[in-house]
Amino acid sequence: MAKDRPAPPLDRDLADLPPAERWQTWMRRIEAVLFASAAPVPRADLARVVGQGASVEMLVEDLAADLEGRAFEIAQVAGGWMFRTRASYAPAIRAAADLGEQRLDLSAFDLAVLAAIAYHQPITRDGLKDIFGHEISRDLIGRLQARALIGTGPRSPRRGAPYTFVTTPGFLIAFGLASLHDLPDPEQMDEAGVIAPAWPPAAR
């Protein structure tokens, strides 16, 4: 039985190719990596498949332009890039196959608590109580954790310090955000009915 041979090292620079062909090859490499990944791919990972000095951002831009008119697009979310189906094709997908329940299925109050965590993280349950005027149930926190929208954050080093909650990369992906800096202004969220009227000033 032949032993597995290590794969040859990847020729990143492609110095023997003409510039235009080299650029196209780098684009297709990025396309292949994004296609194979179920999660956003950060810039550092994409940089491993292209030549030194090549602009990952420009390659992604050219690839996105190349995909114009296709059923899927490149989205910049959670600190990286990933493929996603364009929203206009969602009815066709639902009509063709039963893909199961993929909605977040959160109530307006669930979304308000999620927004409070997003804007005030890391935040404790007592901090959430201060915002909403009453205790936030463990079941609600559990629902947000089960959907991988929030996780536990840093705790004070003192003994018995309460847990804090923070949003996750899954939160960014679910809402199509590249980073937390893309959160809308709290006033806009309030006008949309997502945040309670007693929403306090938020610091980001």
- Residues 148 and 169: their CA atoms lie apart, in Å, by 8
- Residues 197 and 187: their CA atoms lie apart, in Å, by 10
Helix (H) or strand (E) holding 73: strand 72-77
> What is the pTM assigned to this prediction?
0.55
Phi, psi at 136, each rounded to 5°: -95, 125
pLDDT of residue 155: 77
| Structural domains of the chain in order of their starting residue, each with its CATH number | 19-95 (1.10.10.10), 108-191 (1.10.10.10)
Task: Note the pLDDT tens digit of each residue in 122-173.
Answer: 888 888 888 888 888 888 888 888 888 888 888 777 777 788 898 888 888 8
> For residue 165, with 0-12 CB atoms within 10 Å meaning exposed, 13-18 middle and 19 or more buried, which class applies?
buried
- Residues 117 and 165: their CA atoms lie apart, in Å, by 7
